[in-house]
Amino acid sequence: MYNYNCEYIIGKDEIDIINILSKNKKVVSIYYNIDNSSWGHDMNEPPHINHELILLLKDKDNNYHTQALMKRKFSNEFTNLIEEYISLLPYGYSGYMETIDYPLKKICRTNNIYTKEEVVMMRSCINLPEELVDIVLSYLIKDVYQDESDISLIKYNDLGNNIYISDYYRIFEERVVLIIKNK
Protein backbone atom coordinates (compact mmCIF):
# COMPACT_ATOMS: atom_id res chain seq x y z
CA MET A 1 0.00 0.00 0.00
CA TYR A 2 1.17 3.52 -0.69
CA ASN A 3 1.00 6.72 1.30
CA TYR A 4 -2.25 8.45 0.44
CA ASN A 5 -2.61 11.93 1.87
CA CYS A 6 -5.76 13.88 1.25
CA GLU A 7 -8.96 15.04 2.84
CA TYR A 8 -11.05 13.79 -0.09
CA ILE A 9 -11.82 10.43 -1.64
CA ILE A 10 -10.00 9.71 -4.89
CA GLY A 11 -12.38 9.09 -7.77
CA LYS A 12 -12.25 7.00 -10.93
CA ASP A 13 -10.48 9.74 -12.94
CA GLU A 14 -7.70 9.91 -10.38
CA ILE A 15 -7.33 6.13 -10.19
CA ASP A 16 -7.09 5.95 -14.00
CA ILE A 17 -4.34 8.60 -14.05
CA ILE A 18 -2.45 6.84 -11.25
CA ASN A 19 -2.64 3.53 -13.14
CA ILE A 20 -1.41 5.15 -16.38
CA LEU A 21 1.54 6.95 -14.78
CA SER A 22 2.59 4.18 -12.39
CA LYS A 23 3.08 1.62 -15.15
CA ASN A 24 6.25 -0.37 -14.26
CA LYS A 25 6.71 1.81 -11.16
CA LYS A 26 5.76 1.48 -7.52
CA VAL A 27 3.57 4.23 -6.05
CA VAL A 28 5.37 5.70 -3.02
CA SER A 29 3.04 8.57 -2.17
CA ILE A 30 -0.07 10.33 -3.47
CA TYR A 31 -1.13 13.85 -2.61
CA TYR A 32 -4.66 14.85 -3.61
CA ASN A 33 -6.37 18.13 -2.83
CA ILE A 34 -9.47 19.99 -3.98
CA ASP A 35 -8.80 23.72 -4.00
CA ASN A 36 -11.83 25.96 -4.17
CA SER A 37 -9.99 29.27 -3.73
CA SER A 38 -10.29 30.02 -7.46
CA TRP A 39 -14.10 29.84 -7.22
CA GLY A 40 -14.38 33.46 -6.14
CA HIS A 41 -10.98 34.90 -7.11
CA ASP A 42 -10.45 34.23 -10.80
CA MET A 43 -12.80 36.46 -12.81
CA ASN A 44 -11.15 35.60 -16.16
CA GLU A 45 -12.69 32.12 -16.16
CA PRO A 46 -16.02 30.61 -15.23
CA PRO A 47 -16.38 29.48 -11.60
CA HIS A 48 -14.40 26.30 -11.01
CA ILE A 49 -12.53 24.29 -8.43
CA ASN A 50 -9.12 22.71 -8.96
CA HIS A 51 -8.42 19.05 -8.35
CA GLU A 52 -4.70 18.74 -7.58
CA LEU A 53 -2.88 15.40 -7.80
CA ILE A 54 0.80 14.71 -7.13
CA LEU A 55 2.41 11.29 -7.51
CA LEU A 56 5.77 10.15 -6.18
CA LEU A 57 6.88 6.88 -7.80
CA LYS A 58 9.87 4.55 -7.64
CA ASP A 59 11.14 2.39 -10.49
CA LYS A 60 12.86 -0.99 -10.33
CA ASP A 61 16.28 0.71 -10.30
CA ASN A 62 15.34 2.64 -7.12
CA ASN A 63 15.08 5.95 -8.98
CA TYR A 64 12.27 8.29 -8.01
CA HIS A 65 9.86 9.94 -10.44
CA THR A 66 7.05 12.43 -10.03
CA GLN A 67 4.21 14.15 -11.80
CA ALA A 68 1.84 16.91 -10.73
CA LEU A 69 -1.56 17.14 -12.40
CA MET A 70 -4.53 19.45 -12.21
CA LYS A 71 -8.12 19.30 -13.39
CA ARG A 72 -10.55 22.20 -13.39
CA LYS A 73 -14.09 21.25 -12.46
CA PHE A 74 -16.67 23.77 -13.67
CA SER A 75 -20.19 24.32 -12.45
CA ASN A 76 -23.03 22.49 -14.21
CA GLU A 77 -23.97 25.31 -16.59
CA PHE A 78 -20.56 25.05 -18.31
CA THR A 79 -20.87 21.51 -19.66
CA ASN A 80 -19.09 22.40 -22.90
CA LEU A 81 -15.75 23.07 -21.14
CA ILE A 82 -13.15 20.32 -20.97
CA GLU A 83 -12.62 18.78 -17.53
CA GLU A 84 -9.60 16.52 -17.75
CA TYR A 85 -6.31 16.21 -15.93
CA ILE A 86 -3.35 17.99 -17.44
CA SER A 87 0.19 17.33 -16.31
CA LEU A 88 2.17 20.31 -15.04
CA LEU A 89 5.72 18.94 -15.16
CA PRO A 90 8.14 19.65 -16.71
CA TYR A 91 7.34 23.33 -16.48
CA GLY A 92 6.21 24.77 -19.79
CA TYR A 93 5.20 21.40 -21.24
CA SER A 94 1.70 20.86 -19.95
CA GLY A 95 0.07 17.77 -21.36
CA TYR A 96 3.25 15.67 -21.04
CA MET A 97 1.69 12.48 -19.66
CA GLU A 98 4.87 10.89 -18.40
CA THR A 99 6.67 11.13 -15.11
CA ILE A 100 9.88 13.08 -14.70
CA ASP A 101 12.94 12.17 -12.63
CA TYR A 102 12.82 13.42 -9.06
CA PRO A 103 16.18 13.49 -7.23
CA LEU A 104 14.80 12.44 -3.85
CA LYS A 105 17.95 10.67 -2.67
CA LYS A 106 20.07 13.69 -3.57
CA ILE A 107 17.64 15.99 -1.74
CA CYS A 108 17.79 13.75 1.33
CA ARG A 109 21.59 13.64 1.30
CA THR A 110 21.76 17.42 0.90
CA ASN A 111 19.65 17.67 4.05
CA ASN A 112 21.75 15.02 5.88
CA ILE A 113 19.02 12.37 5.79
CA TYR A 114 20.19 8.86 4.85
CA THR A 115 18.87 5.33 4.42
CA LYS A 116 19.93 2.67 6.91
CA GLU A 117 22.10 1.05 4.21
CA GLU A 118 23.93 4.33 3.61
CA VAL A 119 24.62 4.70 7.33
CA VAL A 120 26.08 1.18 7.46
CA MET A 121 28.30 2.02 4.49
CA MET A 122 29.41 5.28 6.13
CA ARG A 123 30.27 3.40 9.33
CA SER A 124 32.42 0.95 7.39
CA CYS A 125 34.35 3.78 5.73
CA ILE A 126 35.39 5.45 8.98
CA ASN A 127 38.41 3.72 10.48
CA LEU A 128 38.09 4.82 14.10
CA PRO A 129 36.97 3.25 17.37
CA GLU A 130 33.21 2.69 17.55
CA GLU A 131 32.62 5.48 20.08
CA LEU A 132 34.33 8.01 17.83
CA VAL A 133 32.44 6.78 14.78
CA ASP A 134 29.17 7.45 16.63
CA ILE A 135 30.31 10.98 17.48
CA VAL A 136 31.41 11.72 13.90
CA LEU A 137 28.16 10.36 12.45
CA SER A 138 26.07 12.35 14.93
CA TYR A 139 27.42 15.51 13.24
CA LEU A 140 26.85 14.18 9.71
CA ILE A 141 23.43 12.55 10.02
CA LYS A 142 20.29 14.48 10.83
CA ASP A 143 17.97 11.50 10.40
CA VAL A 144 17.66 7.99 9.00
CA TYR A 145 14.78 6.40 7.13
CA GLN A 146 14.03 2.74 6.52
CA ASP A 147 12.69 2.76 2.97
CA GLU A 148 10.21 4.53 0.70
CA SER A 149 7.27 3.50 2.90
CA ASP A 150 8.38 6.18 5.35
CA ILE A 151 8.30 8.97 2.73
CA SER A 152 5.14 10.93 2.09
CA LEU A 153 3.80 14.12 0.46
CA ILE A 154 1.66 16.25 2.77
CA LYS A 155 0.49 19.82 3.29
CA TYR A 156 3.01 21.89 5.22
CA ASN A 157 0.37 22.73 7.84
CA ASP A 158 0.03 19.00 8.61
CA LEU A 159 3.75 18.52 9.27
CA GLY A 160 3.31 17.75 12.97
CA ASN A 161 6.26 15.88 14.45
CA ASN A 162 7.18 14.21 11.16
CA ILE A 163 10.67 14.77 9.76
CA TYR A 164 10.77 17.48 7.10
CA ILE A 165 12.83 16.63 4.00
CA SER A 166 12.09 19.53 1.66
CA ASP A 167 9.41 21.46 -0.18
CA TYR A 168 7.93 19.90 -3.27
CA TYR A 169 7.89 22.06 -6.41
CA ARG A 170 5.78 25.18 -5.76
CA ILE A 171 3.00 24.54 -8.25
CA PHE A 172 -0.18 24.81 -6.26
CA GLU A 173 -1.38 27.43 -3.81
CA GLU A 174 -1.02 25.00 -0.89
CA ARG A 175 2.58 24.37 0.24
CA VAL A 176 3.34 20.67 -0.23
CA VAL A 177 6.34 19.08 1.47
CA LEU A 178 8.14 15.73 1.52
CA ILE A 179 8.39 14.17 4.95
CA ILE A 180 9.52 11.04 6.69
CA LYS A 181 6.80 9.69 8.91
CA ASN A 182 7.85 9.73 12.52
CA LYS A 183 7.13 6.33 14.05
Residues 52 and 83 in one domain: yes
List the chain pLDDT tens, one digit each, 183 residues: 455 555 567 888 999 999 999 999 999 999 999 888 766 665 677 888 889 999 999 999 989 999 999 998 887 888 788 888 888 888 766 667 789 999 999 999 999 999 899 999 999 999 999 999 999 999 999 999 886 668 899 999 998 888 899 999 998 988 999 998 876
Q: What is the pLDDT of residue 1?
A: 42
The two beta strands, 26-35 and 48-58, are antiparallel
- In this predicted model, what pLDDT tens digit does every residue of 51-65 receive, in sequence order? 999 999 999 998 999
Q: What is the pLDDT of residue 146?
A: 80
Q: How far apart are CA 17 and CA 55, in angstroms?
A: 10
Closest CA to 56 of 141, 148, 142, 124: 148
Q: What is the mean pLDDT of the chain?
A: 87
Q: What is the pLDDT of residue 148?
A: 65
Q: Which residues contact 149 (CB under 8 A, 6 or more apart)?
A: 3, 28
Residue 121 lies in a domain: yes
Residues 46 and 120 in one domain: no
pTM of the model as a whole: 0.85
| Cα 106–Cα 96–Cα 65 angle in degrees, nearest 5 | 25
Residues 10 and 89 in one domain: yes
Give me the number of domains the chain comprises: 2
| Cα 103–Cα 65–Cα 167 angle in degrees, nearest 5 | 55
Residues 93 and 132 in one domain: no
Domain around 118: 110-143
Which amino acid does the sequence have at 56? Answer: L
Residue 167 lies in a domain: no
Q: What is the pLDDT of residue 73?
A: 87
Q: What is the pLDDT of residue 92?
A: 67
Q: Which residues contact 68 (CB under 8 A, 6 or more apart)?
A: 52, 53, 54, 55, 87, 88, 89, 168, 169, 171, 172
Q: Per-residue DSSP letters for 7-58?
A: SS---HHHHHHHHHHTTTSEEEEEEEEEE-THHHH-TTS-SEEEEEEEEEEE
